[in-house]
């Protein structure tokens, strides 16, 4: 979420606004710390209890509040409404599952969403769900993540990895969750003979799981190295566990085929945008409701391949490495889909311009 709003934050800073960004994780605070700007302030989000929220707002006194994606804090939203501070939901996302849960509490949903002055949804489906639950003003402006540049890669670290990997086939399992690593490891075992030299890179969604993944691979008698130990993959390395923070951009640039995690287990799937933008073929499991419309579009355009288990993943990976034309067509389709869906940034800025104009007038 932080990465998706950073470009919007930068555009607001360019226009002379001071921007306070709140988040709830150390990772997000580190990301923001790397983007030092005199007008940018980071604070951890206050506990959503009225007395804490009130003290927070008393101190910062915002002119406009923007909430991103599906982060809905009832006490914070209610206090903003009581103070007359405009609240805009940007890059709003409401999955079908979340919509069904809120629909069981119609009065609460209507009260909560009634505090939102403007809801800017990622898709028409999201917009319809917000509207059905009681959001008074809704527009589908698109997903800001489509306008986010692909994750950066340290040039030296990337060159090091490229030199070590050489021309070996590489499969990347990005942002995996517990219960998926076993399937990725089994996929590697199934491909050992048919794809000699295959290197499988596993990047867990939470790096602290690195040792547990290493243990799983060791049980399968696979030569495994963890990046957190400081070692690069050797010629004999079969599984490379990239249990570090902020380096996914390196591995997206190494792997022509990427399995996007959170989709083989009932998590809802991580975003495929970054992989697609960098020219990879995207594989995903059946549990993709977090980005359902996007995955449906990618699948329809031939830019992604659904898999359900290690057997189907191994079959898809082998086919893509064996058929270069198929790989090329699929990767290009994924890139075209993400490019066609860009433009959310400008639509979002246009939608919030009346609120920004009010702030400018108040300054005079």
Asked whether the predicted pLDDT for residue 317 surpasses 90, the reply is yes
- Dihedral in degrees, nearest 10, Cα atoms 278, 69, 306, 321: 10
Non-local CB neighbours of 17 within 8 Å, separated by 6+ positions: 39, 356, 359
- pLDDT for res 95: 87
φ, ψ of residue 277 in degrees (nearest 5): -65, -30
Instruction: Give the C-alpha separation, 159 to 151, whole Å.
Output: 16
SS (H, E, C) 84-97: CCCEEEEEECCCHH
Asked whether the predicted pLDDT for residue 176 surpasses 80, the reply is yes
- Average pLDDT, integer, range 258-268: 98
Q: Express as a percent the part of the chain with pLDDT over 70.
A: 100
Mean pLDDT score of the chain: 96
Q: Name which of 33, 130, 125 is nearest 72 in CA terms.
A: 130
Token duo for residue 64: 């406009």
- pLDDT for res 332: 97
pLDDT bucket at 32, cuts 50 / 70 / 90: confident
| Distances 126 to 92, 135, 137, 141, 344 between C-alpha atoms, Å | 7, 11, 13, 10, 14
Instruction: Give the C-alpha separation, 288 to 265, whole Å.
Output: 9
Catalytic-labelled residue, pool 1, 71, 182, 186 = 1
Asked whether the predicted pLDDT for residue 255 surpasses 80, the reply is yes
- Average pLDDT, integer, range 60-82: 95
**Crossing angle of helices 324-340/310-322, nearest 10°?**
100
- pLDDT for res 333: 98
Asked whether the predicted pLDDT for residue 27 surpasses 90, the reply is no
- pLDDT for res 220: 98
Count of residues making up the chain: 364
Weakest-pLDDT range from 67-71, 128-132, 231-235, 341-345: 67-71
Asked whether the predicted pLDDT for residue 241 surpasses 90, the reply is yes
Q: Is domain 2-148+342-363 given the CATH code 3.50.30.60 in the classification? A: no
Q: Tally Cβ neighbours within 10 Å of residue 95.
A: 19
- pLDDT for res 36: 78
Q: Name which of 360, 319, 164, 330 is nearest 251 in CA terms.
A: 164
Q: Where are the domains of the chain?
A: 2-148+342-363, 155-340
Asked whether the predicted pLDDT for residue 212 surpasses 80, the reply is yes
pLDDT bucket at 71, cuts 50 / 70 / 90: confident
- pLDDT for res 293: 84
- In angstroms and rounded to an integer, the radius of gyration of the C-alpha atoms of the chain is 22
Asked whether the predicted pLDDT for residue 362 surpasses 80, the reply is yes
Non-local CB neighbours of 343 within 8 Å, separated by 6+ positions: 142, 146, 147
- pLDDT for res 2: 83
Query: Do 2-148+342-363 and 155-340 show the same overall fold?
Result: yes
**CATH class, range 155-340:** alpha beta
- pLDDT for res 17: 97
- pLDDT for res 33: 86
- Average pLDDT, integer, range 213-238: 98
- pLDDT for res 329: 98
Asked whether the predicted pLDDT for residue 1 surpasses 80, the reply is no
- pLDDT for res 96: 87
φ, ψ of residue 69 in degrees (nearest 5): 60, -120
Instruction: Give the C-alpha separation, 187 to 173, whole Å.
Output: 11
Q: Name which of 97, 142, 39, 181 is nearest 349 in CA terms.
A: 142
Weakest-pLDDT range from 20-34, 43-57, 299-313: 20-34
Asked whether the predicted pLDDT for residue 4 surpasses 90, the reply is no
φ, ψ of residue 68 in degrees (nearest 5): -110, 140
- pLDDT for res 307: 99
pLDDT tens, residue by residue, 86-119: 999 999 999 888 999 999 999 999 999 999 999 9
Token duo for residue 145: 């993540």
Q: Name which of 252, 274, 4, 260 is nearest 142 in CA terms.
A: 4
- pLDDT for res 60: 98
Asked whether the predicted pLDDT for residue 54 surpasses 80, the reply is yes
Asked whether the predicted pLDDT for residue 326 surpasses 90, the reply is yes
Instruction: Give the C-alpha separation, 218 to 226, whole Å.
Output: 12
Asked whether the predicted pLDDT for residue 198 surpasses 90, the reply is yes
Instruction: Give the C-alpha separation, 247 to 284, whole Å.
Output: 21
1 given a catalytic annotation? yes
């Amino acid at each position: 979420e932080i990465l998706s709003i950073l470009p919007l934050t930068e555009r607001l800073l360019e226009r002379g606004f001071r921007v306070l960004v709140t988040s709830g994780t150390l990772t997000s605070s580190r990301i923001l710390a790397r983007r030092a700007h005199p007008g940018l302030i980071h604070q951890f989000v206050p506990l959503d209890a009225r007395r804490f929220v009130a003290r927070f707002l008393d101190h910062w006194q915002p002119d406009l509040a923007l909430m991103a994606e599906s982060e809905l804090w009832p006490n914070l939203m209610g206090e903003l409404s009581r103070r007359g501070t405009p609240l805009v939901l940007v890059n709003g996302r409401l999955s079908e599952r979340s919509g069904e849960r809120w629909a069981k509490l119609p009065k609460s949903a209507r009260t909560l969403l009634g505090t939102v002055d403007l809801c800017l949804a990622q898709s028409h489906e999201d917009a319809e769900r917000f509207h059905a639950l009681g959001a008074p003003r809704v527009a589908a402006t698109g997903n800001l993540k489509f306008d986010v540049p692909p994750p950066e890669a340290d040039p030296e670290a990337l060159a090091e990895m490229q030199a070590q990997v050489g021309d070996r086939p590489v499969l990347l399992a990005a942002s995996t969750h517990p219960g998926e690593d076993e399937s990725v490891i089994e996929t590697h075992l199934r491909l050992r003979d048919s794809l000699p030299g295959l290197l499988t890179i596993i990047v867990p969604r939470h790096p602290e799981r690195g040792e547990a993944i290493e243990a799983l691979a060791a049980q399968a008698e696979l030569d495994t190295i963890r990046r957190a130990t400081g070692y690069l993959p050797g010629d004999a390395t079969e599984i490379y566990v990239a249990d570090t923070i902020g380096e996914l951009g390196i591995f997206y640039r190494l792997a022509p085929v990427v399995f996007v995690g959170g989709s083989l287990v009932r998590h809802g799937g991580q975003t495929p945008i970054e992989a697609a933008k960098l020219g990879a073929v995207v594989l995903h499991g059946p549990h993709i409701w977090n980005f359902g419309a996007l995955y449906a579009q990618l699948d329809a355009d031939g830019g992604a391949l659904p898999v359900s288990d290690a057997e189907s993943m191994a079959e898809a990976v082998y086919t893509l490495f064996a058929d270069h034309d198929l790989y090329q067509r699929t990767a290009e389709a994924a890139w075209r889909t993400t490019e066609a869906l860009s433009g959310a940034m400008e639509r979002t800025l246009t939608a919030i311009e009346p609120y920004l104009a009010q702030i400018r007038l108040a300054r005079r």
